[in-house]
Amino acid sequence: MEEKIAFGAFIQKKRHEAGLTQRALAERLHVTESAVSKWERGVSYPDITLVPALCGALDVSERELITASEDFAQRRVEREARTLRRMRKGILMALNVGYGIALLVCFILTLAGPLPWGVLAIAFASLLTGASLTALPLLLPRDIRAWGTLGGFFAALNLLLGICALYTGGRWYPLAALSVTLGLSLVFLPFLLRAVPLPGALSHQKTLLYFCANSLLLFPVLATACQRGGAMESFFPVAVPIALMGLALPWGLMLLIRYVPLRGLARAALCCAWGGLFNLFVNPVIRTVSDGVPFALVSPSLFDWSNEILLNANIDFITTLAVWAIAAALGIAAMRRKNQ
């Protein structure tokens, strides 16, 4: 009986807050005024089919109606959600107005004469690139917002680069487009591989796929750079070996971390040892490839820093010794921990 009275009092309170009389509420629900009176006096409950309509008339949730109490936490969440939606619409409107005004100003200046049509096209592509990062995320559904924004930005940026290349008469667009693709791949490919389901064994080799994809993307960038610089003949004898030497460090670290069955300090020691070995050989290999001199490890002389070769040799020697010392310390710590 007390529950019915509490329920009736709650309906009466919310009806008064909504500014409704018993007759007005009854007309909205297509019931008699006597039925509403019985609910408020705790004589009876409304039919379950009336619950949605009653909640709408009283501006309460079904949970609030059933429990005959206000859910302040849920109402706060709903208010905040409505506020965020209004803010989102306001921000989107402000962005659209701002982009529209900027484009209109450029169009008027183009018609008036100060700006050529090519600059107007560049301005349009620039605004489109900005909109892909600011307005587009507000328009896309949440489930495709991240990748939709990235795709829109990539397309808009390539359009901007292409228009700039056409306007300047340069042939640098392929190099710029490939460089942008490589840069975005370096940053976002891990997230894409995590989000995309891969079949079978490939699902456990995402790190290897990441390294393979970006390593393969590097060589078209180098080839385009060599072609752009008029040095295509040096691509295979110079650029490719130097690139492979540069890739040796991250590839070696990845293989050691990912596939060598060691843990913690032992793995760190092995990575430091590989880093020291790479540091010892990288400059002699690059010197052999670029200058055509025979491969040789220059003997360091810590008391002679008179020329560039000895300077580099001394720095490489000190750096390698320091890294190997760290590797040795880590290895000793790993063995002591294992014995303990």
26-36: pLDDT as tens digits: 888 888 888 88
C-alpha span between 289 and 268 (Å, rounded): 31
In 10 A of CB 86, how many CB atoms?
Answer: 10
Closest by Cα among 180, 179, 162 to 171? 162
Residue 20 has pLDDT above 90, yes or no: no
Contact 164, 123 (CB under 8 A): no
Q: Which helix (H) or strand (E) covers residue 256, if one does? A: helix 240-259
C-alpha span between 108 and 93 (Å, rounded): 22
Residue 323 has pLDDT above 90, yes or no: yes
Q: What mean pLDDT do residues 215-220 have? A: 96
Helices (H) and strands (E) in the chain, counts: 14, 0
User: Which of 43-47, 137-141, 233-237 is the least confident region?
Assistant: 43-47
pLDDT > 90: percent of the chain: 56
Q: What mean pLDDT do residues 224-234 have? A: 92
Q: How far, CA to CA in Å, does 290 sit from each of 235, 239, 294?
A: 11, 9, 11
Kindly report the average pLDDT of the chain as a whole number. 90
Q: So what's the pLDDT on residue 71?
A: 67
pLDDT > 70: percent of the chain: 98
Query: What per-residue string of b and e applies to 213-225 under the rule 16 or more CB within 10 Å gives b?
Result: bbeebbeebbbbb
Contact 19, 58 (CB under 8 A): no
Taking only the tens place, the pLDDT of each residue in 47-69 is 888 888 888 888 888 777 777 77
Q: So what's the pLDDT on residue 330?
A: 96
C-alpha span between 139 and 69 (Å, rounded): 37
Taking only the tens place, the pLDDT of each residue in 81-112 is 888 889 999 999 999 999 999 999 999 999 98
Q: So what's the pLDDT on residue 72?
A: 66
**What does the chain come to in residues?**
340
Contact 62, 51 (CB under 8 A): yes
Taking only the tens place, the pLDDT of each residue in 260-295 is 998 889 999 999 999 999 999 999 999 899 988 899
C-alpha span between 49 and 74 (Å, rounded): 23
Residue 155 has pLDDT above 70, yes or no: yes
Contact 14, 60 (CB under 8 A): yes
C-alpha span between 184 and 120 (Å, rounded): 27
Q: Which helix (H) or strand (E) covers residue 242, if one does? A: helix 240-259
Q: So what's the pLDDT on residue 1?
A: 61
The model carries a pTM of: 0.76
Q: So what's the pLDDT on residue 137?
A: 94
Q: Which helix (H) or strand (E) covers residue 38, if one does? A: helix 33-40
Q: Which helix (H) or strand (E) covers residue 267, if one does? A: helix 264-291
